Structure 1
Amino acid sequence: MDWDDLRVFLAVARAESLSGAGRVLKCDAATVGRRIARLEEGLGAKLFIKSPQGYALTDAGGRLMPHAEQAEQAMAAASEDLGGVAGQLTGQLRIGAPDGSANYLLPQVCAAICDANPGLEIHIVALPRVFNLSRREADMAIGVSPPSAGRLTVQKLTDYHLHLAAHRDYLAAHPPIRSRGDLRGHRMIGYIPDMIFDKELDYLSVTGMDSVGLGSNSVSVQMQMVRAGAGLGIVHDFAIPACPGVVKVLPDDIALTRSFWLIRHADDRRSDRLNRLAEALAQGIRREVARLETLA
């Protein structure tokens, strides 16, 4: 068994399909299938069961998984040690994040980390849902609540704040808002109720309103609706500086505090490289949230 065989095994286990693994490995599904068959023959054990849902690990495949992941971490560490500049981080890092942080925080935070580590490549995966780190959809993920299950480590990054807001043009064209009672008759912008993937994103109740006139599963789309003067919405304070003309409404009355959490696979604690990347990411996010909120 060699590392290249384990790399193919990990790709199939995470993608749960030969075609998905092929896209990651940049080869065709038939080649991936042959490599898995060769590995199974060499080990004398069946590693996957094919079903209508895809490729699932057998008991033997499940036992191989942690060994393959340890080999992956060892190869990354060796590459870092031998191929990079002393003290610098190299290789690739994939970060999963909800689209609010992915759009308004991570671009500048990750750019600064890459500037300090020229051999490092960072991919930001922005999805409005919880990431599955067990399938290695990402190396680490940012969440809006700590997970309660799985072999994961969780670190609180920072609190952040949200307020009701609207564009000045919208406020100038509609009746004044001096209290929550004045919100009746105004159009609310927010999440599509049945697509809220985390209870921490259920903001509507704080306004006293019971429905949204314009909704999206993307907080960035919601922010663009607010910026376009389409109505009122609960927005991240750290996003307001990116949207000229958007101002807080009833800031002393309608205010929320939420938290960002850094979520990692438990086995990654043994990786000095990932520990250093996690710390750089945590420090950068804390600084950027604090900086942008002072501008809001």
Structure 2
Amino acid sequence: MRLFLAVAREQSLSAAGKVLRLDPATLGRRMARLEKTLQVALFVKSPQGYALTEAGSQFLERAAVVERAMRGVAVGAIAQSDTLTGQIRLGAPDGCANFLLPQICAAIGRDNPGLDIQIVALPRVFNLTRREADMAIGVSAPTAGRLVVRQVTQYRLHLAASQEYLATHGPINDLASLKDHRMVGYIPDMIFDRELDYLADLGAGRVALASNSVSVQVNMVRQGAGVGVVHDFSLPFAPGVQRILTDAVSLKRAFYLIRHADDARNERLARFASLMTAGLRAEVARLETLSETDLHP
């Protein structure tokens, strides 16, 4: 079960093998044996890695419960030696840093009181070669540099507007009608990643209210300033904002964990990365579920 948890969280045999200090081929055989024992496929194997099946996701939830119970068996000396300490600096785009990382890092901090976590929220690509951070979260996978990159989770985005704005300006029934509305989005010449150029793909035209910050854009939409593309995971923090034209526009993007290749054998950073990525997947799923209801955290 411990090996399964590592593969599920790292989403690849090689990454999990580094965390466990176990040969990937051996780890692969152990996972195959587990699936044979359970008589169910836990993973979808591809060149990109090991993705959980629906059965695998259900097993992950149960395995995590067992893991937490086992960790609580000997709280004393074991807890003292098993906690992370020191300082870790994490770079992230501001949408992730504002709406996801605070609660994730708060949970990690509670379990590791000797750990100092620094979140650097900047709307740009981090340079790990210059050691701007110990690791970073990105919205695309860099192809240059001595980096280890893996996809953490996908997330969804939709057009949205405040209920106040829609009540004043009337319903928006199709994409063509967007030209009659004020658009909220990124400052065009400050878009640091092609994956963020949402409005250009929609042919929305002029961006009347713009910011290089995702959280500022969400707040402008919340204040009734116009229509914008927003992350579904941000909607629970913006009461009164609702998705529109969901059948016509439904975007998917991904978060990637980016680490320097020289840190691949650093057990401390690997443990933090494992905790952080597991938390990121769970929090995106939780908030996206909330975004489809009227509930707010």
- Output the TM-score relative to the length of structure 1: 0.71
Task: Write the distance in 1 (CA, Å) between the matches of 2:203 and 2:170.
Answer: 18
Equivalence for 1:217: 212
Partner SS, residue 130 of structure 1: coil
- Aligned-residue CA RMSD (Å): 1.3
- 1:179 partner letter: D
Deviations 1:62-87 (A, max 9, x none): xxxxxxxxxxxxxxxxxxxxxx9211
Equivalence for 1:152: 147
Equivalence for 2:18: none
Task: Write the distance in 1 (CA, Å) between the matches of 2:201 and 2:247.
Answer: 13
1:194 matched to 2:194: no
1:87 matched to 2:49: no
Task: Write the distance in 2 (CA, Å) between the matches of 1:154 and 1:210.
Answer: 34
Partner SS, residue 253 of structure 2: strand
Deviation of 1:175 after TM superposition, in Å, equals 2.6
Partner SS, residue 184 of structure 2: strand
Deviations 1:248-267 (A, max 9, x none): 01111111000000000101
Which residue of the other structure, out of 170, 178, 190, is the alignment partner of 1:175? 170
Deviations 1:188-233 (A, max 9, x none): 0000111100000000034331220101111111111001110000
Which residues of structure 1 form unaligned runs of 5+? Answer: 1-83
Which residue of the other structure, out of 114, 126, 132, is the alignment partner of 2:127? 132
Which residue of the other structure, out of 267, 275, 286, is the alignment partner of 1:291? 286
1:143 matched to 2:123: no
1:102 matched to 2:97: yes
Equivalence for 1:166: 161
Report if the CA contact (8 A) 2:123-2:213 is conserved. yes
Task: Write the distance in 2 (CA, Å) between the matches of 1:101 and 1:132.
Answer: 18
Partner SS, residue 281 of structure 2: helix
Which residue of the other structure, out of 259, 266, 270, is the alignment partner of 2:261? 266
- 1:189 partner letter: V
1:231 matched to 2:226: yes
Partner SS, residue 128 of structure 1: coil
Partner SS, residue 212 of structure 2: coil
Task: Write the distance in 2 (CA, Å) between the matches of 1:193 and 1:94.
Answer: 29
Equivalence for 1:245: 240
- 1:107 partner letter: P
Equivalence for 2:179: 184
Task: Write the distance in 2 (CA, Å) between the matches of 1:249 and 1:130.
Answer: 30
Which residues of structure 2 form unaligned runs of 5+? Answer: 1-78, 292-297
- 1:101 partner letter: C
Report if the CA contact (8 A) 1:204-1:211 is conserved. no
Partner SS, residue 283 of structure 1: helix
Which stretches of structure 1, 4 residues or more, deviate above 3 A after TM superposition? none
Deviation of 1:91 after TM superposition, in Å, equals 0.7
Q: 105-114 or 170-179, which moves further after superposition?
A: 170-179
Equivalence for 1:26: none
Partner SS, residue 105 of structure 2: helix
Equivalence for 1:75: none
Equivalence for 2:115: 120
Task: Write the distance in 1 (CA, Å) between the matches of 2:250 and 2:269.
Answer: 35
Report if the CA contact (8 A) 1:206-1:254 is conserved. no
Deviations 1:36-55 (A, max 9, x none): xxxxxxxxxxxxxxxxxxxx
